[in-house]
Structure formats: C-alpha cells, structure tokens
Chains A and B, each alone.
Chain A
Amino acid sequence: MMRLKRVVAEHFGRLKGAQLGDLDKGLNVVLGPNEVGKTSFANLVRQLFYGFARKSGTTEASYVSDSGKRQGLLVLTDDSGEWSVKRVEGAHGGPVSVTTLSGSDQQGILNNVTSGISREAFRVVLGFGLSELAEIEKGTSSDDGVLSRLFAAQAGLAVNPADVKAGLEKEAGELWAPSKSKPILNQLKAQIKALKSEITQLEAKASGYAADQERYRGLADELEEARAAREQAQRVAKELAVYEQELRTFEDTWDEMRKQIASAGPDLDRANQALGGIKVDDDLYVATPAIEAVLSDLSGFEQRRSAIANHDASIIELQVKAQVILEDVGITPELADDADVGPDSIAGIEKWRDQLLKKEHASDEARRKAQDIASRLEESEQVSEATSQPAASGYRSPGIIMAAAGFLLVASGAALGEIVSLVLGLAVLGAGAFFLWRSRGAGPSKQPESASVQIAVQMNSAKRDAELRQTELESDLQAWSQWLADKRLDCAGENPAAVATTVTAIKEWRSVIAELRKARELRSKDESWCEGYRERLNRAVEGLGSAPSASSLVDVASVAASIKHMKDQNTVAMHQRETVRRTIDGLTDDLTKWQQEMEVTRSKIEEVLTKVDLPPGADVAQLSALSQEADAEAKALGEKYDDVLRNHTELKQKLGEEERDSSMAAARLEMTGLEELVQQKFEEYAVLAIAARLVERTQKEHEKNRQPAVIQRAGQIFADITEGRYTGVVVPGDGRFIVLNGNSEVIPSSELSTGTAQQLYLALRFALIETLDTVGVGLPVIMDDVVVNADPKRREGLAKAIVELSRHRQVIFFTCHPETAELLNEVADPKNGTGGVKRISLSEPAA
C-alpha cells in the first residue's frame, strides 16, 4: 500500500532544508515544542500534494519563503518501489517532477494518490488542525460539503459526482444564468430585444411608405405643372434674348454698312487713277493667241530645218551610189529604167541559160561525131580536103552577142554622156561585126564520093545531124536575142550570165533611185513646212506696226524671239489692267449691296420692335430691359421647379431605397438566426441543467440511503471516546449533526461543549476515513494537536481511536505535548496488539 515515507522542506515559510521522516506506514507521532515547524510541515504535506497556495486571495496560509521559491519534496513508497515527488513554486500550484528512486516509473503518481480526494476534502478530513475540526459540519447539506464528496468517493466513482455536477452547472451557467449578461443565452436575449426594436422601427418606416407613395404622386403632378410654367417662362426669356441679340446685330450691321460706304469712295478713286496709268496694245493682245500658237511650233520649225540639212546629205550620197551601180554594168539610167527585171525575166534568163547550154552541147556533140566520121572517111579516101568550116559558123553567136553588147554600151554612153561607155561600146560593136562577117562563109561540106560509101553515108548523116543541131542552136540564139529585146535587156549583151548580173545591178539601182526619190520628197515636205511656218509667223504679226517680219527661213528664229518678248510684256500689262478693273467693279458692287442691306436691316429692326411690342425707333436698351424682366421670371419659376424636383427626387430616392433596402429582410433573417441559436443553446442548456440536477438528486438519494453505515460507525467511535456518555450520531440531512446520549436524548452538536464537539467531529472523520478504503491511497491523515481540549479520559479514548485509525491509513500526529505523545505510544504499544508508533522529535526550531 502506498504511503508517505519522507517530507523535505527545501524552502517553505520558515522551514529551510528541514526533513520529516522516515515515516512508518502506521502511526507516526511528531513531538516538538511550539514554533518548531509542526504546523508548517502539516501544511507543506498538503501543498506538496495539491500545489502551493496562492500568496494572496486565499484563506489558506501561503508560507511564503524569504529564502527563495517555495519548494519541497515528498518521498512515497509501496511494496513495488519508491518515488520522490518534488514541487517548486510556480503557476497552477507549481510544477511537479517525479523521480523514481526504485521500482517502475510512475509519472502520474501524484494524481493517482490524490484521486477522489479534493484539496478541500484533504484539508478538512485528512489533514487538519483544531481550526478545521468544525468545518466538517459546515455545508453538509450543500453540494460542496466535504461529507458529500467523501461519500461519493466511497460510492466507488473515480469522479466525484459533486465535481461532475459542478462541471455540468458551470457549463450550463455559461449558457444561461438569471440576471447576468455574459452567458450566451442572456446575450442572445439582449440581441433579440435590440433586433426586435430595429424591426419595429423598420415596420414603422414601411407604414409610412404608402403615405410617401401618395405624396410622391402629388409631387409628380406638381412637378409637371412647375415644369410647364418654367419652360414657358424660359421660352419667352429665350425669345426676348434672341430678339435682343438680333436687334443688336442689326444695329451693328447698320453702323458697319454706313462706315464701309464712307470708306469705299476713296478706294474707288485710287483704282480709277491706277487704271489710267496702265498701257496695253490691244491689237497685240488680240493677236496674242495666234502668236502663241505660232511660237508654240517654233521648236518644230527648228527640228525641220535640221532635217532638211540631213536630207541634202542623203540625196548626194544616193545619187553617187546609183551612178556607180550603172557604171559597173555599163548601161544608162534610161536603159536601166526601161529594162524588165521582174521575176519572169529572172526566171526566163535562167531558163534560157540552161536551154542554150543544152543546145550548144548537143550541137558540139553532133559536130564532133561528124568530124570523127569525116576523119575516118578521110582516112579511107585519103583524100578529102573539102571540109566545112565549122569554126566560121562558130563565130556567129559571139558576133551577135558582142554586136548587141556594143550597141547597148554605145547607146547608154550616148544617153548618159559617158565617153568611156561610148568608146567601149563601139569597140565591142566592131568586134561583133567581125565575127558575124567570118561566120558568113560557113556551110555543109561536100560529101566525098569515095569508096567507102557506107562511111560516107554515115558521115552525111552525121553532118546532117550536126547541121540540124547547129540550126536548132542558132534558132534558139535568135529566139534568146528576141526575148532579150522584148525584155529590153538586149543592152546587157547575149551572155545569160552577163544579163543576170546586169539585171541584179538594175534592181539595186532602182532601189537606190526609190530611196533617193523618197529623200527628195521628205526634204521637199520639210522645206515646204518651214516655209509655211515663216509665212504663219509673218501673218501672225501682220498689221502690228512694231512687230518685225521674217524674210527668209534664216530670220525666223530671231524674229520669233522678238515677237515673244513684245507679247509677254503686253500680257502682263493687260492683267494689271484687269485686276484694277475688277477692284473697281467690286467696290461698285459693294456700295450697291451695302446700300440695299442698310434698307433690309432697317426693315428688320422695325420688324423686331413690332414683335416685342416696342414702338418704331425704340432701341436695344429698351428691349434689354424687357429681356431681363423675362429672365428674372424664368429664374423664379426655375427655382420653384427645382424645389419641387428636389422634393420629388428625394422622395423617389427614399421610395427607391425601400425597394432596394433589404435591411428588414436582413434583420428578420438575423432574428430567425438568433431564434434558431437560442433554440440550440436552450437545448444544450436544458441537457446540462437536467444532467446536473439528475446527479444532484442521485447524490442526495445516495447519501440518504447509503450514509447510515458511516454515521453508525461514527457513533460507535464517538461512544468509545466518550466512554458511553454518548451513544450515537444522527445526520438528518438538513445540515445538522445530532448526538444521542445514554438516555437517548437528542442533542444538537451546537449544544455540545467545545471539547465534546471536537470529539464528535473527529469521530465522524475517523468513520469516514475508514470507509474510504481504496480512495486516496497514499494520502496520510495529518492531525495537528487535535486532542488538547479533551480531558484525560477522553484523550485516552481519542488515542485509542487514532491508533485504530492508523490500522487503516498512515497517520502523522503532530503535538507539542509530551504526555500526548506518550499516551499514544502507550496505547499503540505492540503489546496491546497494535502496530506500534514511530516517534519523531522536532527538537530544533526550523531555520
């Protein structure tokens, strides 16, 4: 069983480094003189178990130490080990540290030891002095009664029902308590009250809405009327202001016109003078477009002059080229011009060339054959000298050709005056005549009449063939000559190749002649144009006395420049004169216009005055006065309108706010939220309050039904102490203790003597402690000189009761009376069957 082995006071009141113990498990009697520290130790034990008392605000002595923080330790022991519990002054009674001296670790040892015994219960029931003795009776009927607590502990509950009840009530009290403001339900009640008030106000405000709505409608009508009146007044004022402005403008216009007319006269005179000073040649100006037209072509003239020079150079070049071509083929331009050199001629020449070649070949072949046969015949006849002169006949064709060519050269040389051609032509012609003369004596050879007739026949046949071929050739040559003559190409001779060359030259000549003709045409055209230009130029200035004229193309450029200069000067003068004339015309028009405008303005002024009911001749000042009056009226009506509008707007806004205003809905929502919260909190409160009451009721019933055993035991102890003078104790439940004497008389505790009452209280404590059994195991019973008021007899009875108690629980009995210590020692003598006593002397006053 757990018990206290030792107590060490390191700093506690006057105790410093003091120790109590070792203590026995049964009765320990601590004897010491006054002020040795007995009561300090008794208090130290309680404060080490339950925490150091606060320095102030408590009825418990605090034992503040001058030497430092209060601290001390308890050594607890049981069969399994030993533990040192040290407590140092600090928050919440001071921190505790547990040191295991032997056995298993038990950090929670202090809670285990004190479980079920509150600090107060310990102070009153287990650790007490004379001053606490009577407290056991105090509050018996209340929930805080020590007895109640101990009874509960005795009932086997680890948790004290009184504490449970107190806890439940505390929690309930946080939810609601009458006449308080802090609990939640109390706060909610206040909030609901305030919210109800707010809602009432909002409802009152809503009630005014209908009235406001009606007023709003009235204001809307009033606003409409005010608006109409204001607009009418503003319209009048505006019109008058416009008329005033118009009138002012018209009068200004009138003045302006008058000033302008006055200043325009001198301007007109100055312009006329300037006009007189400007000299213009009108004829020249009239002729200017024609002159400018001619001058605009001057560059063309110059270009053409340049072209004419180019044409001249080309013409000379082409003439030389044509002459050389004809000289090369030796014909005259006339012959060349007359000859047919078309495509048929060229084709004909080629045809004739081939045909003649073929015929010449055939004739030559036949002649050679005839000569061969003749040679054979000659051989055979050995005499044959008469042969034809084929060579002579061979001269005919060249003779013809040369005669023709000579004729052509003579003709062209004569035509062109070319002496060389003429002489050459005569020479060729003479040669041709010679050949023709030679060819005159040619004819068929007389066939020898030899023996060889066959050969002769052959020869004759061959001769005939040769002659035939020759005849054909000559026929063709004649036809060829005739063809050439037809084509007027006979000037080129009869050689087809020469004829072809001549034809080619003629064609080239004709091309050059065509170019030449074209060049001459162009030159003629340009020259004609330039001449025309000169005539145009002269015509353009014809009749203008001062203008020069061009007598030749060479003069044209200088004359044109001179004319241009004259024309430009005259044009500038002309423009100046036009400008001045326009100025004069403008001024004249303005004067007319201004005069008309003055008339119109005058009539407008009259018109405005009529409109505003002012007599003719009235001025702006009078109209301005009228306008100001209208403005003032419009302003007054405007202010009235503004007032109505302001009221109207304010009311509209107010009504609009009502529409948007969700404060009532918010307030009602908040209200319902609060009511819901109240309902929830009420339920929480109800459960807690009912639970607290259930525990309280049960506890009372429990005490009532299960308490008698304890009371009976207290009665026995009390009887033993008083040696039968009192026989029993009764606790009726109304807060009183009643004792019965030997005569069964009922005596309230309040009527007992101090000593007897103290003995009753001790008896009650001892009975209670005996029943605690498993509760508060390890907590010793500490008594501080509690038997001093007992007489010797009863002191002995008390000693026996104390010794008996020590059989159930460790007892530490402090006393300053040696005889009390001795008495306890005697009573507890093991010889008497008790466990003996451990005597401890505190002889030295604690430092």
Chain B
Amino acid sequence: MSRSFKFVHTADIHLDAPFVGVNAKDARVQEELIRATYAALDRVATIAVERQVDFVVVAGDIYNTKDKSTRAQLRFRSVMQRLAEANIGVYLVHGNHDPANGYSAGLDMPDNVHYFSTTKVERIEVKDASGQTLCALYGQGFGTAVVTDNLASRFSRQAGDETAIGVLHANVGGQQGYEPYAPCSLQDLRNAKMDYWALGHIHKKQDLGDSPKIRYSGSPQGLNPKEDGAHGCWVVTMNRGEVTEEEFVETDAVRWHQATIDVGQMNNVDDLVDALRDECTRCRGESGGRPAIVRIDLVGRTEVNASISRGSTFDEVVEELRREQLEATPWLLVERVRNRTHPAFDIDFLREVEDFTGDLIRFTEALEDPTAAKEFMDEVLGGVDKAFGEFERDEAELIRRARDLSLSRLLEEDR
C-alpha cells in the first residue's frame, strides 16, 4: 500500500526571459529584473527542499531556447543539482519555448532530472528511497516549438495505478493571449482519468476543475504587465489518488501591478499627485515586501486634463513619483502612467455649434467609418508605420485622444 506523498507543480519559468513592457533605466531595477526569474526558480527549489517534497514536476517552458541563453541552462542545471542533493526527483516536459529540438548548451543534467518523451506519452513510476511506489506520472513534451496536435487525447491511465498524474504543456479551451499549442478541452483531460493534471503554458494560475484536479501553476515570476498579481507554484499532497492538501505558494521576486485612477473629481495636480502616491502605497502593501512594477492609467473627465496634457507638468509629476518610489526600499517602479483623461469641456455642446470646433468634432466623428478611418490613419501614420512596422494600437482611442488634444489647444485661450 502506497503512502501519502507531496510534490511541487510549476511551469513556464522562462529563465532569463526579458521582462516585456518595462522600460527600466535604474541599475538596481535592471539587476533585480535580470535575476528575477532565477530568484523565482530558487524559491521553488527552496520550497521543495524545505517542505521535503518527494518530487517536482515542471510542465514546460523552463527557458526560451530561442534566446540561446547559456546562463539560463547553466543556472537551471545548478538548481537541479541542488534538488539532487536533497534527493528530490524532477520530471519535466518540453514546452513550446524550450522544445526538444531547440538550442542546447550541451549540458549534462544530474540523474534526478527526467524529461518526458516528445514522441509519445511516457509513463514513469515514481518510487521513494525505500523503493515504494508513490504514483505514476504521465507526460509528453514538445519536440518542436509548434505542436498543434491534441496531446491530451493521447493520455490514458493504466489499470492498477493507485495515483496517476498528468504533466502537459497545452492550451486548454483555446485561451486568448496564448499560442493555441497542444489544444485540448477539459473533457479531453477528464477522459484520461488522471487524478491530477499539472499543466503549463498559461502564465497565471488557474483552477480548471476539481474532479479531477486540473491546475495551471502559472509562471513563478510574472514577466509582463498582463501577468500582474501573485505568482507561485502548487505544493500538492496526495494519497491513494486523492489530493488531500494543496497550497499555492508565492515565489515571484518582483510583482506587477496595473491600476486605474479616476481623476474626474480632482481639481488640481496636487490631488493627482496624492492619488498616485496612494496607489503606489496600495501596490506596495499587496506586494508582500517585494519590489514592484506599477502601471497606472488616469481616466475621467477632469479639469486636470488641461494641466497634464500640455507642457512638462505631467512628465515632471510622473518622474518625481518614479524617483520617490524608486528610492524607497523595496523599490517600486512606476513604469508608466498614462493620461487617458478627457478634457472638461462638453463635447456634445461643442458639436452642435457651427464653428471651427464643431467642424472638428463632426469631422472626427466621420472617422468612425472604418474605411474613412483606415484611409485617414494610413495617411497620418503611414510614414511611421513604414519605418517601424505597424504598432499595436486602438485607432478609435487614438483619434479620440487626438480630438481632445486639438480641442484643448484650440480652446486654450478661452479657457
């Protein structure tokens, strides 16, 4: 009869992957960001050692092989060695970012590391030091970066397995914002009759079901603004096919935050500065003592719009806030504050007036027609698009902001 056992489920570590959407000029911030994915992996290993887990599963994307980061592979090996010294086995699948045919630094991994096959679902019996079987692990990795087959449908529990765990890198349910690799449905996963699915590919933790337990661990470290909030790994305890305990343990070294501040009721820049500071304080509180990166959007129709839409006031406010927050410990990087406020004037009233501003508003509204908008935008932004490639953009939003800016400038003297 098998005993209760414990394991760590992690995935999408993306060692050495660059942070996306952050413009960090401060050396301290840069250093922290460069080591963040490693620090997160170290914490995963520390959790495994301190909690004396029986093994660790990694559901793909340990590093980005396209980045050819030798450092990532070397550092990963050293962490594996640390786990080997603690007699903890590590079972991994290759993901789309670290497929089996990707760049390899040619390093030999310690004996406790086992990669699942990429050609078929491989079954591994995990035993403890005394030779007692703990569970059966099933997994199949990515041989190449692009796998469009439904790998989940190939998984099938063998008769006699007291506990079966599936390890897979896949997009379950075609989630937006992630490549549709190894696509599958929840039903595909249920059909495999596993007791626990350790999934990778989605960077935020997800709980897709309890019978069986289907979990994305998310990445141990958020890598871009969309990956805000806490990141970590699952520590799961199972006994005879049942999950008796599961805990999500935070591992991120730097935390992302996104915030929106409605400045509609504000009358001056001082109010705005106070609100920005309050938001930073809130983010600090939610970061658990970690360094943090914050993106803030200012919204609302406000008198402050005029003050922050022209001249250097807004930039100076943001720069001062950024400096102030970076000097604190732990640092908090106010990565971006976007001015998405509207001027305080009444667009509806202006639209009805037969004058220049009315003409401008009416002309802008004519651009709501997609064809007219495309023609107009191509005319205005064709040059820069040609130089840089077309940027991701919300054209209607850009036109709206341009309209507000024009009106602000034209009505400036009157105001």
A501 at the interface (CB under 8 A from B): no
Kindly provide the distance from the CB of A536 to the nearest chain B CB, expressed in whole angstroms. Answer: 91
**A701–B366 alpha-carbon span in the complex (Å):** 13
Residue A635 interfacial (CB < 8 Å): no
The answer to whether A176 and B20 touch (CB under 8 A), given A669-B30, A687-B402, is no
Asked if A102 is at the interface (CB within 8 A of a chain B CB), the reply is no
| Nearest A residue (CB) for B335 | A676
A210 within 8 A of B: yes
* Residues from 5 to 34 in B contacting A, C-beta threshold 8 Å: 16-25, 30, 33-34
Binding stretch for chain A, among B197-205, B208-216, B319-327, B391-399: B391-399
With CB as the reference atom, state the residue of chain B lying closest to A671. B18
A176-B384, A685-B384 in contact; A665/B34 too (CB < 8 A)?
yes
Set A159, A211, A683: member contacting B398, Cβ < 8 A: A683
Q: Once the chains are docked, how many angstroms separate the CA of A702 from the CA of B409?
A: 17
Would you call A578 an interface residue if the criterion is a C-beta within 8 Å of the partner chain's C-beta atoms? no
- Secondary structure at the B interface, as helix, strand, loop or mixed, is helix
Minimal Cβ-Cβ distance residue in B for A695:
B406
Known: A159-B412, A167-B409. A203 touches B68 (CB 8 A): yes
Of A665, A683, A698, which is within 8 A of B71 by CB?
A665
Contacts of B402 in A (CB 8 A): 686-691, 693-694
- A697 to B372 alpha-carbon distance, docked (Å): 13
Known pairs A185-B388, A210-B105; A665 contacts B414 (CB<8 A): no
Q: Which of A47-55, A235-243, A487-495, A655-663 contacts B (4 or more CB under 8 A)?
A: A655-663
Select the stretch in B85-93, B255-263, B373-381 that faces chain A.
B373-381
Cross-chain contact B21 with A672 (CB below 8 angstroms): yes
Chain B residues, CB < 8 A from A206: 68-70, 103, 105
B34 touches A673 (CB 8 A): no
Please tell me which one of the listed residues A115, A152, A185, A203 contacts residue B356 in the complex, with CB atoms under 8 A apart.
A152
Q: Given that A176-B387, A209-B106, A673-B22 are known contacts, is A662 also in contact with B356, CB under 8 Å in the complex?
A: no
Residues from chain A with Cβ under 8 Å of B19 in the complex: 669, 672
A321 to B413, CA, bound (A): 152
Known: A690-B402, A698-B356, A698-B363. A207 touches B387 (CB 8 A): no
Cβ B387 vs Cβ A686 within 8 A = no
- CB <8 Å contact, A156 and B356: yes
Residues of B near A674 (CB, < 8 A) are 23
A581 within 8 A of B: no
Kindly state whether residue A666 has any CB partner on chain B within 8 Å.
yes
The distance in angstroms between the C-alpha atoms of A671 and B34, with both chains bound, is 13
CA distance A439 to B398 in the complex (A): 180
Check if B153 is an interface residue, CB within 8 A of chain A: no
**In the bound complex, do residue B34 and residue A189 qualify as a contact, i.e. CB atoms below 8 Å apart?**
no
Indicate whether B347 reaches chain A with its CB closer than 8 angstroms: no
Closest to B104 in A: A210
Q: Which residues of B contact A178 (CB under 8 A)?
A: 383, 387
Number of interchain pairs (Cβ within 8 Å) = 184
Question: Is B74 an interface position by the 8 A CB rule?
Answer: yes
Chain B residues contacting A155 (CB-CB under 8 Å) are 355-356
CB-nearest residue of chain B relative to A203?
B68
- Check if A161 sits within 8 Å of B18, measured CB to CB: no
Q: How far is the CA of A185 from the CA of B389 in the complex (A)?
A: 13
Partner of A686, one of B104, B360, B381, B414: B381
C-alpha spacing A680/B105, complex, angstroms? 36
Q: Which chain B positions have C-beta within 8 A of A167?
A: 409
CA distance A680 to B337 in the complex (A): 10
Within the complex, which residue of A176, A209, A666, A673 is in contact with B25, where a contact is CB–CB below 8 Å? A673
Interface residue? B290 (CB, 8 A): no
CB distance from B316 to the nearest CB of A (A): 16
For residue A679, CB closer than 8 A to chain B, the reply is yes
In the complex, B328 has a CB within 8 A of chain A = no
Q: How far does the Cβ of A163 sit from chain B's closest Cβ, in whole Å?
A: 9
A659 x B413 contact (CB < 8 A):
no
B351 close to chain A: CB less than 8 A? no
Q: How far is the CA of A251 from the CA of B401 in the complex (A)?
A: 105
| Minimum distance in angstroms from A116 CB to a CB of chain B | 9
Assembled-state Cα–Cα distance A459/B398 (Å) = 181
Decide if A309 is an interface residue (CB 8 Å cutoff). no
- A686 lies within 8 A of B356 (CB): no
How big is the B interface, by class?
Answer: 35 or more
Once A189-B387, A685-B384, A694-B360 are accepted as A-B contacts, the answer to whether A168 and B406 lie under 8 Å apart by CB is yes
A164 contacts the other chain (Cβ, under 8 Å)? yes
Contact of A689 among B23, B381, B388 (CB under 8 A): B381
In the complex, are the beta carbons of B23 and A662 less than 8 A apart? Answer: no
Q: How far is the CA of A156 from the CA of B353 in the complex (A)?
A: 12
Point out the residue from A159, A214, A677, A678 that lies within 8 Å of B410, measured CB to CB: A159
What residues on A are CB-neighbors of B412 within 8 Å?
158-159
- The binding surface of chain A is classed by DSSP as helix
Q: Is A157 an interface residue (CB 8 A)?
A: yes
Contact indicator B406/A694 (Cβ below 8 Å): yes
A698 in contact with B359 (CB, 8 Å): yes
What string of 1s and 0s marks CB contacts (under 8 Å) between A145-185 and chain B?
A: 00000001001111101001001100000001010000001
Interface string of A186-227 (1 = CB under 8 A from B): 000100000000000011001101110110000000000000
Structural contact, B409 and A698, CB atoms closer than 8 A:
no
Residue A668 lies at the interface, judged by CB distance under 8 Å to chain B: yes
Residues of A close to B411: CB separation below 8 A: 159
Contact B30 A666 (CB under 8 A): yes
Task: Check B103 against A207 for contact (C-beta < 8 Å).
Answer: yes
**Interface extent on A, as a size class?**
35 or more
A674 to chain B, nearest CB (A): 8
Among B376, B387, B392, chain A packs the most CB atoms within 10 A around the CB of: B387
Is B336 in contact with chain A by the CB < 8 A criterion? yes
State whether B410 touches A669 (Cβ < 8 A).
Answer: no
CB pair A686–B71 under 8 Å, yes or no, is no
Shortest CB distance A206–B (Å):
4
CB of A551 to closest CB in B, whole Å:
104
List the B side residues contacting A693 at CB < 8 Å. 376, 379-380, 402
B68 with A189: CB separation less than 8 A: no
Interface residues in B307-364 (C-beta closer than 8 Å to A): 335-336, 355-357, 359-360, 363-364
Residues of chain B within 8 A of A705, CB atoms compared: 359
Cα distance, A676 to B338, chains bound together (Å)? 13
- Give the CA-CA distance A641 to B96 in the complex, in Å: 45
Q: B67: CB under 8 A from chain A? A: yes
- Given A178-B387, A659-B71, A691-B402; A164-B355 close (CB under 8 Å): no
Residue in contact with A658 in the complex, picked from B20, B71, B380, B413, CB distance below 8 Å: B71
**What sequence of 0s and 1s flags, for each residue 185-209 of chain B, a beta carbon within 8 Å of any chain A beta carbon?**
0000000000000000000000000
Instruction: Please determine whether A690 and B356 come into contact, CB atoms closer than 8 angstroms.
Output: no
> What CA separation (Å) do A161 and B401 show in the bound complex?
18
| Contact A658:B74 (CB < 8 A) given known A666-B30, A668-B18, A695-B410 | yes
With contact pairs A168-B405, A658-B70 given, residues A677 and B23 touching in the complex (Cβ less than 8 Å):
yes
A276 to B370, CA, bound (A): 142
A664 at the interface (CB under 8 A from B): yes
**Measured CA separation A9–B109 after assembly (Å):** 92
Question: Quick check: A701 and B107 within 8 Å, CB to CB?
Answer: no
Residues of A within 8 A of B414 (CB): 158
Determine how close the nearest CB of chain A comes to the CB of B381; give it in whole angstroms. Answer: 6
Min Cβ gap A25→B in Å is 27
Task: With both chains docked as a complex, state the minimum distance between the C-beta of B209 and any C-beta of chain A, in angstroms.
Answer: 35
Known: A665-B71, A673-B22. A694 touches B403 (CB 8 A): yes
Q: CB of B127 within 8 A of chain A?
A: no
A-B contact pairs, 19 of them (CB 8 A): A155-B355, A176-B383, A176-B384, A206-B68, A210-B104, A214-B106, A658-B105, A664-B67, A665-B18, A669-B18, A669-B22, A669-B24, A672-B18, A678-B391, A686-B384, A689-B381, A689-B384, A691-B403, A693-B376
Contacts beyond the supplied A213-B107, A661-B71: 6 A-B pairs with Cβ under 8 Å: A155-B355, A159-B411, A664-B68, A671-B18, A672-B22, A689-B402
Q: A: which residues have CB within 8 A of B?
A: 115, 152, 155-159, 161, 164, 167-168, 176, 178, 185, 189, 202-203, 206-207, 209-211, 213-214, 658-662, 664-666, 668-669, 671-674, 676-680, 682-683, 685-691, 693-695, 697-699, 701-702, 705
